[in-house]
Amino acid sequence: MQLKDLLKLPPERHYYGDLVRALFLLVGIIMLITLPLFKEIIPFPFYISIFSIILINVFAGLTNPNQLIVILLDNLISLSGLVVFEFFAIKSILNNSSNLFYLVNQLLAVVLFFALYYSIKSLRGFLIKEGR
């Protein structure tokens, strides 16, 4: 082994999909546990929430560093969820609704805020790796 080989730094790791996956699973678990508590408060049919839970779970499982479309969809899901849950958190405060409903929506928005950040970092890493 030569000196130049010893001095080589490991390549930077720009894939955060494992963290995004964990955050998506956390969101799905929180939604699954709290859905029965809030099914009367949620302003749309509960089966839309069930579909959303399944969708988040599916994309948690599909997340990988090799498919740009999945990384893009992770970004879209994180952004959409962040907007939706923050909207309902603010709306519940303005309407003097349940404090627990506010807290759960705010927690979900914060978790998705981090999922969006790390999914964007993964996208950036993918584009850097591919030289785009």
What confidence tier does 1 reach under pLDDT thresholds 50, 70, 90? Answer: low
- pLDDT over 60 (residue 104): yes
Helix, coil or strand: residue 4: helix
Identify the weakest region by mean pLDDT among 36-45, 46-55, 79-88, 116-125: 36-45
pLDDT tens column, 29-76: 999 999 999 988 888 898 999 999 999 999 999 998 889 999 999 999
Q: What's the mean pLDDT when you consider all of the chain?
A: 89
- State residue 130's pLDDT score: 60
Cα 83 to Cα 8: distance, rounded to the nearest angstrom: 43
What pLDDT, on the 0 to 100 scale, is given for residue 14? 76
Which H or E run contains 74?
helix 68-94
Q: How far is Cα of residue 42 from the mean position of the Cα atoms in its chain? A: 20
More confident residue, 131 or 77: 77
Residues 101/80/21/57 CA torsion (nearest 10 deg) = 70
